Structure 1
Amino acid sequence: MLLELHQWTRATPYAIGDPTPWYASSLSGTGPAQVAAAVADRDSVRTVASRVWAGVRSAAALAILVALGCAGLSVGVGAVVARSQHDAAEQQLARRTSLVVEAVSGETRRYVDTLRTVAAAAGAFTTLTASKFAQATQPLEQMRLAGATSIVFLVPVTDAELTSVQALWRSRGVPGLTLLPSGAARQHIFSVLNNPLDAMTTPRSGVDITQAPAPTQALAEARRTGQVTISTPYQLIIDQGLPPERRQPSFSLTAPVHGPPDAQGDRPFLGWVLMGVRGRDFVGATLDRESQNLLDVTLRAQNAAGVDVLVATQRASMSGPRDLANNVDVRVADRSWQLRVQASAGGLPGGTTNLPRLVEGVGIVVGLLLAGLVWVLATGRARARGLVARATRDLTAAETAARRQANLLATILDSISDGVVVADADGAYLLRNPAARVIVGVGTELGNTQRPAAHFGAYRLDGQEAFSNAELPLVRARAGESTEQIEMVLRNPAHPDGIVVTVSARPMPTDDGRTGAVAVFHDITDRKAAEIALCAARDDLAGQKAYLTQILDAIDVAVLACDTTGTIVQSNRIARQNLMSGDGPSTIADAVARAGIRGSDGALIAVEDIPLMRALAGEQVDGAELTLPLPGGVRRILLVDARPLHDACGHIIGAVASSYEVTAQREREADLQAFAGVVAHDLNAPLAAIAGFVDILTEDLTDGVDPVSLAATLSRVASAVQRMRRLIEDLLSYATARDRRLNREPVDLDALVAEVITERTAHLRVAPGARRDQFPHIVAAPLPIVDVDKAMTRQLLDNLIGNAIKYTPAGEPARINVSAEPDGEGWTRVQIADRGIGIPINDQPHVFTSFHRAAAHTNYTGTGLGLAICHRVVNRHGGTITATDNPGGGTRIQFTLPTTS
């Protein structure tokens, strides 16, 4: 209305500026009152028109002010958004740069660790041969070491050693080896063993590495430091025959090889292992998965002259200016490489977009809308139509912005590596990003939704059992169920060997109130393969450990290993029986204290004197003698050897000790010493007596003494000879009872005891003047058949029955009872009881030791070996023997023997 009024006033200026024609023509024939009214009306109209025009000008000024203010605010907000996007792009580049650095560092660490492992494996062999080197390096062929050409074993050789070294390695499995020295240098480094790691490298042995300064310098540094060393970039010797376009900057990793430690603990230097790596292949394979074709990556390193040399470069295929860049240093073994990463801010997900301009445009539009609103409010309906038109344009701009946002979302989905699939309530697929097409491997059209499990080739992890349609995550999500990380195998024409994926799905409400679904697919094939390989390696390691454990448990030498804290980490069967309590991990100090192990002098051993603890301090212990007390006062004597354990750097990481029992050896030594004492005393005395009597006989015969009167002297000589014979027989019986082979057979104890009694009493029956009341009274109850060595058992019974007859008070006949009773399944307990002089209670535990005689028995002839022989016979049969008082007087000997089944 204001616009119409403004137009009207401008169209009729004369009605206000020149009143005469107006009222003259309009009011002719009227009186003064009418004329005055007409003039008043004219003034009123002029005033209203002036106010309207002023209002129009004010509205226009206000509208312009609002529009300018909104435009300025929009530009400011747009600048803030642009700065924020640029910062976000820089942060995105920084994150991706860190991923690239981590990828390069992690990959080089993998190469370094691999080479270190090969060097340790090569050095562990006592004699390194071509087959052993191939065995040590064979796992590298499955490790997919990108860019790796070959792995070689190098040895230093002087001119004087060429012929001998060549002959040595020919004998170790390289028959065609020919060492080809390069240059006039007298010190050479030759490759003697060579295993290729790619399909294009031909093994070459006998090459003199000193013709290439870069690897020669790396080899010298590796030997000096003992660590894995990387060379400066250079042209691999094996690549010098390639066409120029196929050559690329390369480098080599090398590690020293030291052999097993010698007697002094020093590890001799054997040579080096060297791996050649082509830089572009190495970096390209490493960075493809990290850069995602969004980054330009350049890797440089300084060569031997200190000049930056290009190792590898990779350029993304996206267009646009590279307005973002990061320069970082990457640590590779003992060197530092320079990594430059460039990107276009507009090409990075979440980078710069048209959003700032959109914000500015929207702000200006809003400003114009507000200005229009002011103008409309001021100018009325005429502007309403213009407002509608502008609102229509604004809606179009908003739609365009929405499309841009949709395109941005699509770009983000296209850039991620996980597959995303969106389906509506009917199962039709509304959206699938490129990663989904690659991972799923087949089309996701609506016509395939009737049997989706069969169409996609979805199987369980065994690869045999197929998923049903109702079990698929997308189908379950359309039914309202959320699923998380469902693992399955997809095998279809695109993936004939099958891939392993995880699928997470969520319900998605639609505008019509029904439920669609969105699913995310993640390819975990490599991770599963790594897990399987890890499990296989773990199983292999466990198998090797079990195999080693069986070997250690099979030997009769105790083996213990501990870490640097003294905690026992490995023990075999003998060691566990002697030291371990079964209560979990234990320290060697606790185990020694619990077992009560003592030194050779019988004193408790200090912690620092334990052989394993001495080995942890770096000492090599040989033949340390310890004693292990057992119940019943018995002790075992152990000889212990201990050595420190070192890692590849020579640091002590633990210690190992082995021990074996020498109790029997010490007993034999004691027997030998006792035997020497017997020979020196008991045999010497009868010999001295014989010699003296012979001298007397000689003198008497010389003096003409009657030979008949010499009978008493001869009787004494015969008695001395008999004593010597009895002592020698006992010594032989005692010695053979220990080591003589058992010839087991069923033996009737009744018959054997009767035979021994007959022989023991035969001389009494024929002795002149023998009295029947002095004849031994021996009663033998029925005895079983036993499974024993007959000769040794006869000696056992002969000694025991003979002692029972001999150790009888003077003037009294011997009274002996022999009986037997079962002693558990397969054993019988035999008892020989007499009424003789008995054994003092303090001597009873010791009468079975060698050369021990009770004080009460010294008046009776004997060697002190009879009961020791009995003890050995019973012990050889696995039985026991004891001596106790016989109720009513005398001694009761009990022993056990195995019976026949």
Structure 2
Amino acid sequence: MLALVGRNPADEGMSRFTLLMVGRRMHGERRAAGPLLAAGVLLTGLLVTVLVAAGLHAAQQDKAERVMDQRHAMAFAAVQTEIGRYRAMLEALAAGVSTQDELTWEKFDTATAPLDDAKLIGAAAMAYVAPVRTSELAAAQRRWRERGAEGLTLRAAAGRDEHYFAVFVRPLTDTEATVGGTDLASATELMAALDESRRIHATAVSDTYVLLRDRRKPVSAQQQSFVFAAPIWTRANTPEFRGWMVLGLRGRNFVSGVLDTISQGQLSGSIIATDSDGSKVTIADWSVPGEPDLTRQSLFDVGDRKWTLVTQADSGRLPGAGDHLPGLVLGGGALLSGLLAWLVWALATGRARARAQVEIATRELRETEAESSRQAGVLAAVLNTISDGVTVVDETGHMLVENPAGKRLMGTTVSNHHPEEWQQHYGVYRTDGKTPMPVGEMPLMRALAGEPSDGVELVIRNARRPEGVLISVDGRPLDPSAGLRGAVVVFRDITELRRYETDLQVFAGVVAHDLKAPLALARGHAEVALDDVAPGDPVHDRLVRIMQSTDRMDAMIDTLLAYTTARNAPLRITSVDLGVVVREVIDERVAHRAATWSIGPLPRVRADAAMLRHVLDNLVGNAFKYVRPGAVPSVEVSATPARQGWVRVEVADTGIGIPDGDKPRIFETFHRTEEAARYAGTGLGLAICRRIVERLGGEIGVADNPGGGTRFYFTLEEAPVPENADEDEEARVRAALDRALAERAAILEAAQLPGLGIPQPAEDQPLRAPRQERQRQD
């Protein structure tokens, strides 16, 4: 009582003021913590993303360096091999001519005829060059005419006592015949090579120059060339010099011909010759698109000259370094970090009674971000590119070519030339890894029979490959230009690819599942908060936007879950009335919009009703979504017979269409056309459709609609017509719908497969909490 009586009102007011100020300061500190926490999450996510992307980029660059070394070694070996082959052929011809007492045109023509089929890349002509002194010009001209050099006129240049004339000439690439008789003194480089060859009694190569036969061409058509000169000495005790066999090669044609196949459009190259005066001259170069950032060079001997082969490549165009994974990881990580930061900010600035739950959700989001970064690192480590194996056989199955990569993949070091022993020798099995693959079904044998094959998967298991390796094989009959019947196969190890795809599904499922919990929590608290705020209050609008945003993200997560489960979800194959499912999908789609549609006669098919409905809903939904502003959407569904026992279902629209350049990739994950990017979507819808159709044993594709727009088509196995086909239409439709709904519910309950339900369009969907099993149309 004494304390109450003695209480001062001024002191009581001061206490209330102090408590109010302390409460406001604490509230301000809590509000300031939200943006700081969001900024920390954003910076952490961006840092982790940049580190992962940098690691992937470094791995790709290392792969590009190894591939560049391999390609340069192949190009270097090819150039040396070709030059050695030309020199050997030239010296063989010179040796043969040296045995002739009198060289005539007929003998020269017979000796050089095989050159027409030798495919000498860049070779211009083969010529026999004879030395003639000035005092013997008339006699030499008469003698060579008698030996078959019709129309030969020896035109000697002034100032020399001895002249060199091309008497017999066989063009190898030019269509016009060449008449000899020109004094070669005007080509000082050629003269020097001839003199050097005669002096050293061996083949010599000239400095680079423009061939005499090319100097009549426009300057743009001329190119640096060189010649090989082989001296002709008789084999008598006292050798007598008869002349030279000369082979002219055009540098640009030679380099492009040798490197064209090896480079595969990825390798630029040039050959630099060191002339007799020590100067370096580029004989020719070969370029491909790109910005070269890798360079290799090798020095080799050509006759008495030193040449250098220089190769360059754009690392981004080499195998294993040209994909966009680092960019995708960087963009995806930045997007995820920004989204997480936004969620943290939204939750941290909510009402006071939800602050404790917001802190829990923030911790869960941070853990999700860390797990996502860890999974990204695991996936980056799994990514691995390997070289392809190549095997070529003749018509009897004899191994003509089996490259080192092929032997390594097949796990053997000894080739087997007997097709009937291939299965036991290499250990070839079907993809189950247990069933031996019959020899007649092997891609190599199918190619020998004239049947090409692509993407044939099989397992190799033998003593050196006890764990087994899954490879993908492409086979083709050997091109007739090879001069023999045979076959070629190209195969690659796809074991790691399959493991990568499996890990990606697990990763996507884990990320999506872990994101749904905090989303549901955030939306639940926003909905509770909405009940206490009057309409028209700015806070009311913000809460509504939060709920709509969580709904959109929840739909994106459901689409991601549908994509990851569409490959392995259990199938319940039944007889499905295609017409009933199509009418149900279209009725739901046109309920709240103006549209025109047409349904042709549709048969019954064997399929999983819920998954088939997802495919049709996606294709029909795209037809209604991807239309130009102001246009009325239109869709037409029809079916025609395909191969025996199968039907082809077509969904045609009059929308914005798909460019030809995007059609081959339209069913790939996250691929969207430039124009479609202006519409809402994730880029997973058509990828899910392809997975479902392929699991049902069919094929899916896209083409232009003749009336404008796009025409999607897919094939399904036709189901037999039931005996009670004449039952009442309304009862049959109701039964089919009940079966489809029951099947879908069973799948969702037994396998917990999200992504098979179809919600209302976003603009018509009421505000509600996200569900774990819900599918949104892309």
TM-score (norm 2): 0.45
The one of the two structures with greater contact order (alpha-carbon pairs below 8 A, sep at least 6) is 2
TM-score (norm 1): 0.40
Rg comparison, structure with higher value: 1
